[in-house]
Amino acid sequence: MKLLVTGSSGLIGSEVCRYFAQVGWTIHGLDNNQREVFFGPQGTTRWNQRRLEAELGDFQHHELDVRDRSGILGLVERIKPDAIVHTAAQPSHDRAAAIPFDDFDTNAVGTLNLLEAARRSCPASPFVHMSTNKVYGDRPNSIALKELETRWDYADPDYYDGISEEFSIDASTHSLFGASKVAADVMVQEYGRYFGMPTCCLRGGCLTGPNHAGVELHGFLSYLVKCNLEEKEYRVFGYKGKQVRDNIHSLDVARFIAGFIAAPRSGEVYNLGGGRQNSCSILEAFALVERISGKAQRYTYVDENRVGDHICYISNLAKMKAHFPQWDITVSLEETIRQIVASAQLQMAETAGNRG
């Protein structure tokens, strides 16, 4: 079985490559290290590409841009993958406004290139698209909230288990990133509904793990841990640092993707996050990281929140669990942070060793 993974050097892409390689699939990874172009040298994912090349037996890297339409059509025609997992993206809410063409061409047009390539060459192959909870724009902020000592929480009991896929994506501020991801999300649904292809959109909350190249503009926990270990100031943007994210380890994302590929459906959407059990506010994340690393977190507070930033976002996982009862969260938030800390410590030691 052949799997095509776009964004294969990134957090989710690399986890998916490893997961499927372990169960005997041939892996075709597609990535052009665009993350470094988006975020500078700290964002590079080349190290992750090299690891995949060194550690996975049956892995082939394709240095290709998802915006390269004829390149994508040709590659998918040659490989005819048995499944496609599309994780390549401009992933930052805040970065998009400075690079609107690159953002839309990558997120929306790149996704269309892949969908059409799949329709022409392998229409029966499951197509999994990494979408985002930013498709709901800032509408989650309209849910009544209560302020607790270290976090905001939903005051409306209907939302205790989080936000479901029924939530409206209309009449809200999305950021240009959210808008380009909405375009891709709707197109992925349409290829499912109109052409009957086995497609799904995974609307991610905070996806995280030790293989994230965290930068200030993307990869909240990974970047926060780096700041903690390097004793650098982390900047908190508004909401008193009590904004809540639900965090899911990339392994649990890969496990869900494997479940969908084994029993695909058409034109589905799922909210994919860590749920209430893996949620934390920034202040709570500071405390957890401090406990694990033994270092005090340095931070400054900026009054103004990021445009359209969620105050409290928790994914309701009921639909995922109803469609795939074998699936559940297996990695706790604490374990995830432990792994991120250990991996960042190793990277720092390697960098120091190279300098020495």
Could you list the residues that contact ligand NAD (CB under 6 A)?
7, 9-13, 31-35, 45, 65-67, 87-89, 91, 106, 110, 130, 132, 204, 206-207, 212
Q: Given the complex with ligand NAD, which of 100 and 295 has the nearer CB atom?
A: 100
Smallest gap from Cβ 350 to ligand NAD, in A, equals 20
Report the nearest approach of ligand NAD to the CB of residue 89 (Å): 3
Closer of 89 and 282 to ligand NAD (Cβ):
89
Chain residue whose CB lies nearest ligand NAD: 10
For the bound state, the minimum distance from the C-beta of residue 341 to ligand NAD, rounded and expressed in Å, comes to: 18
Q: Which is nearer to ligand NAD, 106 or 279 (CB)?
A: 106
Q: Please, what is the minimum distance in Å from the beta carbon of residue 39 to ligand NAD?
A: 8
Residue with smaller CB distance to ligand NAD, 34 or 175: 34
Between 116 and 295, whose beta carbon lies closer to ligand NAD? 116
CB of 130 to ligand NAD, least distance (A): 3
Residue number with CB closer to ligand NAD (295 or 319): 319
At its nearest, how many Å lie between ligand NAD and the CB of residue 17? 11
Nearer to ligand NAD, 207 or 244 (CB): 207
Three-state helix/strand/coil letters over the chain: CEEEEECCCCHHHHHHHHHHHHCCCEEEEECCCHHHHHHCHHHCCHHHHHHHHHHCCCEEEECCCCCCHHHHHHHHHHHCCCEEEECCCCCCCCCHHHCHHHHHHHHHHHHHHHHHHHHHHCCCCCEEEEEEHHHHCCHHHHCCEEECCCCEEECCHHHCCCECCCCCCCCCCCHHHHHHHHHHHHHHHHHHHCCCCCEEEEEECEEECCCCCCECCECHHHHHHHHHHHCCCEEEECHHHCCEEEEEEHHHHHHHHHHHHHCCCCCEEEEECCCHHHEEEHHHHHHHHHHHHCCCCCEEEECCCCCCCCCECCECCHHHHHHCCCCCCCCCHHHHHHHHHHHHHHHHHHHHHHHC
| Beta carbon of residue 279, minimum distance to ligand NAD (angstroms, whole number) | 14
